[in-house]
Amino acid sequence: MNTIFGMQRANGDWFALPSADGLCVPLFSNASDARQARAFNVELLVFTSVPVDDRALKNLSQSVDNRRAYFWLVEKGSTSMRRGMRLTQEQLSLLVNNVK
């Protein structure tokens, strides 16, 4: 069974990168890809990979400081979070619900 993973800190904060149009939340196709990205990106060292379920999706979708979050599915096997595909909340919701 496949699961989508995000990076979360122990205090519950999700990893997100600031961008011109909001916050970019990188997501990974599997835990192995998330761990690999963590090893190559120092800013991820205090985060751990967490499965994205409906509850996490609701939490991730809330705006922070009036900035809308969008999602970035990192290309499989890539150590660079720049390669991937942008997802809307609706697309991610469909993806999360179909992989269960």
What percent of the chain lies above the pLDDT cut of 70? 89
- State how far the Cα of 38 lies from the Cα of 78, in Å rounded to an integer: 11
Residues spanned by the domain of 37: 5-98
Q: Which three-class secondary structure state does DSSP give residue 3?
A: coil
Give pLDDT, residue 57.
81
Residue 100: band (very low, low, confident or very high) from pLDDT cuts 50, 70, 90: very low
- Cβ–Cβ < 8 Å for 49, 29: no
Give pLDDT, residue 66.
63
- Cβ–Cβ < 8 Å for 3, 52: yes
Number of domains composing the chain: 1
Backbone phi and psi for residue 15, each to the nearest 5 degrees, phi listed first: -75, 130
